[in-house]
Amino acid sequence: MKILVAAFDSFGGEKINPALEAVKLLADEIAGAEIVKLEIPTVFHKSAETLREKALEVKPDMILCVGQAGGRFAITPERVAINQDDARIPDNEDNQPIDVSIQEDGAPAYFATLPIKAMVEKIKAAGVPAAVSNSAGTFVCNHIMYQALYLAEKELDNIQAGFIHVPFIPEQVVDKPEKPAMSLEDIAKGLTAALEAMVEYHGKEDIKKIGGTTH
C-alpha cells in the first residue's frame, strides 16, 4: 500500500508551516504502508497541479493532504470540501479569488472518503487532541481537499482522499498569546496515528461516533 501525504509550505506571513514540518518527521513506512511525502505551494490551482503530477506518477492507494489552521486546539480531519474559492487573504502568488468555482464540472461539494472518525479516535488514543471539523474554510486548504477528491474521482479510480488541519506550533504564537499551540512532535504523532487508522480502515466503513457540532 502507498499513501501520498502532501503538505503546504508557509503562508500568511508565517516563517514555518507546522503541517509541512510534521510531515517531514513522518516515518517512510507506517503500518506497512509506504509514505510518499510531497511539499505543495500555498497557491490556488498550482497546488493541485503539483499534487496531480505526483499522484499520477506514484499511483497511491490513498491521498492525505495536510495544512495549518492557526487558532485550532486539536488536529482536525475535515469532513467536507466545497466547490468554492473565496480567499480572505492572497495566496503566495497574490491570487485572491472571490466566489469562484474550483471546478466547473465538479460536484458542489465532496465528502472526505477517508475514515475520519476512526482517525480522530486513533489520534486521541495516542494522547493527542483531535476532533472532526465540518468546515475546511474557503482558502487553499479547502481548495486542495476539493481538488484531491476531484482528482480521485476523475483520474484515480476513486481512491480514498481527504485533508487534515493542524494547529500552530509554539514558536508561531510567541506574539499571539491568545492562540493555542501544539508541539511539532505531537502533531507528527497525531498524523502517524491518523495514517495508521487509514491503513486499518482502508476499504472498510468508518466507525460510528459522535463528531457533529450544534452550529
| Alpha carbons 77 and 132: distance in angstroms, whole number | 5
Q: Would you call 40 exposed, middle or buried from its count of C-beta atoms within 10 A (0-12, 13-18, 19+)?
A: buried
Handedness of CA 18, 20, 24, 30 (dihedral sign): positive
Q: Which of 45, 65, 78, 196 is catalytic?
A: 78
Q: Which of 65, 141, 143, 196 is catalytic?
A: 141
- Joined together, the cell numbers standing for residue 103 give 471546478
Show the CA angle centred on residue 84, arms to residues 209 and 176, nearest 5°: 70
Q: Which of 45, 65, 143, 165 is catalytic?
A: 165
Residue pointed to by grid coordinates 503562508: 11
Q: Is 65 a catalytic residue?
A: no
Q: Is 78 a catalytic residue?
A: yes
Report yes or no: 168 and 178 within 8 Å, Cβ to Cβ.
Answer: no
Residues with a catalytic annotation lie at: 78, 141, 165
